[in-house]
Amino acid sequence: MRLFVGLGNPGAKYAGNRHNIGFMALDRIAADHGFGPWKKAHQGLACEGRLGLEKVVLLKPETFMNLSGQSVHAAVSFYKLALNEVTVFHDELDLAPGKIRVKTGGGHAGHNGLRSIHQHLGEAYHRVRLGIGHPGHKDAVAPYVLHDFAKADQDWLDDLMRGISDGAEALAAGDSAKFLNAVSLRVAPARNSGTGAETPTEAKPAAKPATPPAPSAPPEAPASPFDRLRGLLRKGD
């Protein structure tokens, strides 16, 4: 069994925020893979389904970001899960928009949702880090993450969500490389290298010019009267 946790803040006010990209990822997985309806459980919203051979519970904590660990701890305790069976999807300031990384363990890098999970469970869980970019100054971080994605972000955001859904089965099976490859195929699809132009045919060698005929011998000049007389004298000898 696996527990996928998406981090965010509850309510329509925050639904489109950059900070809620973890919620968005779980919503896409649930919709595409036929998970059951969302129900209140474990201080959040949860639903169940299958990804390949794995039973998976999706959890969106409703404790607000700073207290996410309370909800995750409740679910882990209820299902008696080990931390290596937990994967948390969260926004990542240190990755460019649309970039994605998978990580296990390590620090929380100041992310309040991860900080809360660390406090309740420790750090040895899996994470899917979803790049949203950095506003450029630490004082601008709070309004930046609590602001909706811009209209210009919608294309890459949709591709990212599709890729996460495509690779969800591999992630549940523990194959992070296959998961990341599925995302990459959506975010940066292979392009046809052909130009559509026909391949030029090989030039045929030019035909060798015909060998000119050898010049014929020039005609003999007509015999002079002296030559004719000399010839008659020879015949008389």
Residues annotated as catalytic are 19
Distances in whole angstroms, Cα of residue 102 to Cα of each of 105, 117, 160: 10, 17, 14
Separation of alpha carbons 27 and 161, rounded Å: 9
Q: What are phi and psi of 17, to 5 degrees?
A: -70, 150
β-pair partners for 5: 59, 88
**Kind and range of the H or E run holding 16:** none
DSSP letter at 148 equals B
3-state secondary structure 26-56: HHHHHHHCCCCCCEEECCEEEEEEEECCEEE
Q: Which has the closest alpha carbon to 76: 43, 110, 36?
A: 43
**Within the chain, what is the greatest distance between any pair of CA atoms?**
147
Query: Residues 24, 28, 33, CA angle at the centre, nearest 5°?
Result: 155
Tell the residue number behind the tokens 């919203």, with chain if given.
Answer: 45
Q: Characterize 111-142 residue by residue with b for buried, 16 or more Cβ atoms within 10 angstroms of its Cβ, and e for exposed.
A: bbbbbbbbebbeeebbbbbbbbbbbeeeeeee
